[in-house]
Amino acid sequence: MPRDQKPSNSLIYGPVPSRRLGRSLGVDLVPYKTCTYDCIYCQIGPTPKTTITRKSYTDPELIMAELKARLEEGAAPDYITLGGSGEPCLHSEIGQIILEIKKISSFPVAVLTNGSLLWDPDVQKALGPADVVLPSLDCHNPEAFAQINRPHAGISFEKMISGLEEFRKKYTGKLWLEIFIVSGINDTLDAMEAFKAHLKRISPDRIHLNTAVRPTAEKSAVMVPADKLQILANAIDPKAEVVAEFVQASRSQIRKDMEAEILDMLMRRPCTASDIAAGLGLREDAVMRKMAQLTNAGQVETKQSNGRIYYFRAPAS
């Protein structure tokens, strides 16, 4: 299967390691790379065509049936996360899906969004029941917005910023804002100063600074070193923090089909062996043996980035 397609029979994935949410059980609401942005740093590749059309991309009943089955198998995440391989707020029934999840599970619900549709009153209302919403704000001005996020023509910089502000006024849950720092674009102290005015308007509960630690859609999306990232975090806001690498959970879980789950993870994001081990509750040496088998079989490819080896799902022959 080509990397630009997601498995048609898998809407639930993980738990996968998340540097902000711990063990995250993902729920994919839209088809692969259905997004409002074409971010240069995206870890799953470029967006073929951006969209702002909201509709019921995937049957909510099917989503809930798969999620219920996964929970009954014993999945014990820190969060159930609506995100995956596209922009989840494009799903017109995301609000009902959040409510249905809360009926069948006590795990907190997180929405991982790029924040581009928060100006829409329907989206604002839909996300209200979520426990935590994690939007992005990568740019301090329209020029950087165009350069980093490459948005759909229907989303202006001010529209996006105003949407974040309006959503914050109405939303009573936790708002954790991520700023993705790209070397040479938004990695200066002047940029941090410009961000401050936007942050004052949005008033997030947490501010997370991130950078490209995995392979990106464009080679121009270059990682900012950890020491510089910390300097930028200190400059932007006292509560800003550099997102730490995920620490492997101590709990161990047995999977019925380790190979299928590994391939499912890799379809959505490139991972290191330690990522896979942490996300699936497996020993890293067992994962390494399995990755060698999958690589030799041509099902997995590798790429080195920032001194680490990442595994990808290989295109179908």
Distance CA 47, CA 44 (A): 9
What is the pTM for the complete model shown? 0.78
H or E element in which residue 313 lies: strand 308-313
State residue 210's pLDDT score: 94
19 touches 284 (CB < 8 A): no
Look at residue 80 in the predicted model and tell me its pLDDT: 97
Structure tokens at 221: 């999306």
- Residue 155 · residue 114 · CB < 8 Å: no
The enclosing H or E element of 80 equals strand 79-83
> Do residues 136 and 177 lie in contact, with contact meaning Cβ atoms separated by under 8 Å?
yes
Maximum C-alpha span of the chain: 53
Question: Which distant-in-sequence residues (6+ apart) come within 8 Å of 166 by Cβ?
Answer: 118, 119, 124
The DSSP letter of residue 104 is: H
Would you tell me the crossing angle of helices 189-202 and 157-170 to the nearest 10 degrees? 40
What distance in Å separates the CA atoms of residue 226 and residue 64, rounded to the nearest whole number? 39
User: Using the 8-state DSSP alphabet, how is residue 74 labeled?
Assistant: T
For 176, the enclosing helix (H) or strand (E) is strand 174-181
Phi and psi at 272, nearest 5°, equal: -85, 170
| b/e per residue 271-288 (b: at least 16 CB within 10 A) | bbbbbbbbbbbbeeeebe
Task: Walk along the chain (317 residues) and give the pLDDT tens digit of each residue.
Answer: 233 333 445 789 888 778 789 889 999 999 989 999 999 999 888 999 999 999 999 999 999 999 999 999 888 899 999 997 899 999 999 999 999 999 999 999 999 999 999 999 999 999 999 999 999 999 999 999 999 999 999 999 999 999 999 999 999 999 999 999 999 999 999 999 999 999 999 999 999 999 988 888 998 898 999 899 999 999 999 989 998 553 333 333 334 457 877 887 887 778 888 888 777 766 777 788 888 889 888 889 998 887 889 998 887 65
Distance, CA of 25 to CA of 27 (rounded, Å): 7
Write the DSSP string, 248-276.
Answer: PPS-----S-HHHHHHHHHHHS-B-HHHH
The CA distance from 273 to 262, in Å, is 10
